[in-house]
Amino acid sequence: MIKPHGADSLNPLLVTDPAEHKRLVAEAATLPSVLLSSAAAANAVMLGGGYFTPLTGYMNVADALSVAEQMRTTDGLFWPVPILNLIDDPSGIASGSRIALRDPNVSGEPIIAIMDVAAIETLSFDQKARITQQVFGTLDAAHPGVAVFQAQGNHCVSGAIQVINLSYFETEFPGTFQTAVQIREDIAARGWEKVVAFQTRNPMHLAHEELCRMAMERLDADGIVIHMLLGKLKAGDIPADVRDACIRKMVDVYFPANSVLVSGYGFDMLYAGPREAVLHAVFRQNMGATHLIVGRDHAGVGDYYGPFDAQAIFDEVPEGSLEIEIFSADHTAWSKKLNKVVMMREAPDHTPEDYVFLSGTRVREMLGAGIAPPPEFSRPEVAQILMDHYRAEAGSLSA
């Protein structure tokens, strides 16, 4: 199986030994505590599950700036996005101390991890702007990822952590959420060697389904992991449980047995386009995938990135930094000429009128009105789940 990034074995920070876990829970109750941002809590979940191997905790300012500007930590580890714990008020904690980290996303704000504080540094306005510009490619506060990052505190608390739970993901998505450790075990149990990963934060329409099929066939892969984001999204995105139901229905009906693993991970979407695409590659390598599909507008939002910037950035990745390979895909859509889904770059004789196109706005309008999109766009079973969702949503708003 493919090696994890920067290590010979995974480095999950979740404490699983029962005795040690019990000891840490008792210790945590005696420690000064800090309430994390949702982003920092998501980082703890990814560190806990081994997705962020070989990191041992949150980065300091020097590493954050180095990663933002050079995609390397100060000690040379290739890494595309700073992994930070930014807080508003560091009073009551000190460098060299041990503190409890509380989860803002679970009722009662339980402790999610214990941290050995290596440093508490103030991130200057200029430093925060530099990180924002490099990671997101913009300082525009209308960008959802920029808005979330800028809203976090300016005090950077760095150091190693021990994770004692994985937030709400295990309880809310018990059949879907998996750590990188669990996915590697699942891949090994299935006997897969060449494994494709597909990133999604949306329900999959027919073109996405066919793109997965194309990648599997062209790479002669043993299987594909449809790996959905389960954390926080921007307003208006489809809730994770609805996406999960849609994807599982599509897989159950239209894919052969033992060809697809439906899974999810606990991270908040950054909408960072190219940089987030590289982060996706890093943690998909850690979970055991040998290939990642990177399509048009991967991890993007609005018009902040070019349609293929998330593919072009991999040309900047130094040779040998990653073992996972990229399957670069063009926009896919139903061809009226060929009666099948095609990649547009592979149909040079087509005009826009030769494709079935529906904007996201139009699809939402149709679903909200109880009208299924055409079968050239969406599987009817998937459309029904979405129509039920929009109908229930409209009912709750009018109640």
User: Mind telling me the catalytic residues?
Assistant: 201-202
Structure tokens at 26: 């008792």
Handedness of CA 121, 127, 125, 303 (dihedral sign): negative
Residues 63 and 73: their CA atoms lie apart, in Å, by: 5
Q: Which residues pair with 262 in a beta bridge?
A: 226
Let me know if 327 is exposed, middle or buried by CB neighbors in 10 A (0-12, 13-18, 19+): buried
Q: Which two tokens stand for residue 36?
A: 């994390």
Distance CA 253, CA 251 (A): 6
Pairing of strands 195-200, 86-87: unpaired
The partner residues of 35 in beta bridges, in order of sequence, read 102
Neighbour count for residue 301 (Cβ, 10 Å):
19
CA distance 63 to 60: 5
Contact 283, 46 (CB under 8 A): yes
